Amino acid sequence: MSKKRSRRTWGLKILFAASEAHPLIKTGGLADVAGSLPAALRNLGHDVRLVLPAYPQALERLGEVETLATFEVVNAPEPVRLLGGRIAKSGVPVYLVDSPPYFQRAGNPYTSPNGADWQDNADRFALFCRAVVQLATDRLGLGWKPDLVHANDWQTGLIAPLLSFEPQRPATLFTIHNIAYQGVFDHAAFNRLQLPTPLWSMNGLEFHHHFSFIKGGIAFSDIISTVSPTYAQEVQTPEYGYGLEGLLHHRADRFVGVLNGIDYEVWNPNTDPLIEHPFDLDHLAKRRQNTRALQEEFGLPPDEDTLLFGYVGRLVDQKGVDLILQIIPGLMERTRIQIVMLGTGDLWLEQHLDEMAERYPDRVGVYIGYDEGRAHRIEAGCDAFLMPSRFEPCGLNQLYSLRYGALPVVRRTGGLADTVVDTHPETLANGTATGFVFDDPNASSLWSAVDRAALLYRERPEEWGKVMKNGMRQDFSWNRSAEHYVELYRRAIANPMPNPLVMG
């Protein structure tokens, strides 16, 4: 069916609710998805509108906005305003929920400048959810009512439960980007928020005598999704489910894994303005120049013959950075190996990385901080990219690595398992190998994968080149994933979930 025809016949009205979205505000992968997916859906001909809290950064970056409505929200300290604007590049319309006492703050969406969670996060995001419900039921008088609300992560978890009290509710889809973050608060908070009393039940929001935002999204939405098929299986087990495995298993017939895409305009090695020497599949010699530039940027001797490993990401337990730290001394016993690392996060990991850079000044380069440009240059310059995550819902950096010709070395978990094909004789022969995959979350398992990578690099450089090209040919653009979401939207609209409170 042609795009034109699908545009006329199938255009859906979707309200996309999230607590962050690139380019307005970003702390992690959720922002990348909330920036790219609505734009891709719009290209498929659907009327998608984004709704976010009005943080100062979002207001500043959105530019011109108009006040569309001023309204009361239960428990809000003052009337709330709905502002309207549009993301210039993608054309996606944006609504901002403006409650200055809650959202006009320094720091990031969830924490104060010193890194501590805002004490009133339950109140802040409950207000956001309530405002979204008023918008989604067209009570704000905009003359627009979505067919479906696509909510994301715990901050939007109360939308589906609150909509369940509405007679003419839109369909709901809830996406889990990382189940480790749940929005769990005590009973006193539940009371303070004046949430409908029936929601305090086992089939509602109650979770081990507390109440859980994310449980609301999971229990009440017509469809639940997460960001890779393997993670969808993993979170149904106690090891990965953080206490929600039973509920997710119970809802398995409406629970789906859809891989995230990446923005192929931003992450294109041939047009990337953040790297010095653009390259593509047919001009890989130029890639070596990025390697040399990267070595210089990190203060390492620019050695042509070095195998250069890279890491970019939050410095937290999830990412297995400690496993990398454990294998560095062993790696340094070998010649012609260097490693560059970029990240910010837990203090002890930051300090440990700095110590490694001091100990091996010619071999280990470390930059503590958030730096988009460096992230691009690491992908463009390193030979292999390390991602030994303990769990990884989808992961974006391994997708950037594939596109930029850095062979990913990943643990077989979540989206990493779904996107990287291990290199062994069979996958080399049939042309599917794209990286190196290991199983156990420990240093020896990572070491053996790194060892295999080093061996291929040294002993069989022509095979290395083939694996690199296999990776660069993969398609992880948003189009495919956006079409999958459209299918799920239709399924949710056609098959509403019976209210779990009524089901008993």
Q: Is residue 200 close enough to count as binding ligand ADP by CB under 6 A? A: no
Contact between 32 and ligand ADP per CB under 6 A: yes
The rounded distance, in Å, linking the Cα atoms of 256 and 223 is: 8
Give yes or no for a contact between 16 and 50, defined as CB atoms under 8 angstroms apart: yes
Integer angstrom CA distances of residue 194 from 153, 190, 231, 286, 295: 22, 7, 34, 61, 57
- Does 181 interact with ligand ADP (rule: CB under 6 A)? no
Size of the site for ligand ADP (CB under 6 A): 17
**Residue 370 interacting with ligand ADP (CB under 6 A):** yes
Among 28, 93, 243, 441, binds ligand ADP (CB under 6 A): 28
Residue span binding ligand ADP (CB under 6 A) among the ranges 76-84, 291-299, 333-341, 368-376: 368-376
- Report the DSSP pairing between strands 210-212 and 184-185: antiparallel
Nearer to ligand ADP, 85 or 320 (CB): 320
Q: Which residue's entry shows tokens 């390697």?
A: 291
Q: Which of residues 332-361 bind ligand ADP (CB under 6 A)?
A: 342-344
405 binds ligand ADP (CB under 6 A): no
Nearer to ligand ADP, 34 or 394 (CB): 394
Angle made by CA atoms 389, 211, 485, in degrees to the nearest 5: 55
Selected range binding ligand ADP among 147-155, 276-284, 367-375, 460-468, rule: CB under 6 A: 367-375
Query: Cβ of 427: how many Cβ atoms within 10 Å?
Result: 15
**Interface with ligand ADP includes 184 (CB under 6 A)?**
no
Which one of 94-102, 214-222, 366-374, 447-455 is the stretch in contact with ligand ADP (CB under 6 A)? 366-374
The least CB distance from residue 462 to ligand ADP, in Å, is 30
CB of 375 to ligand ADP, least distance (A): 4
Assess 29 for contact with ligand ADP (CB under 6 A). yes
Q: Which residue has the tokens 């790696």?
A: 331
Alpha helices in 44-78 (DSSP H): 56-62
Among 204, 395, 408, 500, binds ligand ADP (CB under 6 A): 395
Q: Which helix (H) or strand (E) holds 268?
A: none
The sheet with strand 13-17 has its strands ordered as 66-71, 80-86, 93-98, 47-53, 13-17, 148-152, 171-176, 223-226, 255-257
Taking each helix axis from N to C end, the angle separating 372-381 and 285-297, rounded to the nearest 10 degrees, works out to: 130
Report the candidate in 313, 368, 305, 307 with the shortest Cα–Cα distance to residue 339: 307
Q: How many helices (H) and strands (E) does the chain have?
A: 22, 18
Draw the binding track, 307-336, toward ligand ADP (x: CB under 6 A; -: no contact): -----xxx----------------------
Return residues touching ligand ADP (CB under 6 A): 28-29, 32, 312-314, 342-344, 370-372, 375, 394-397
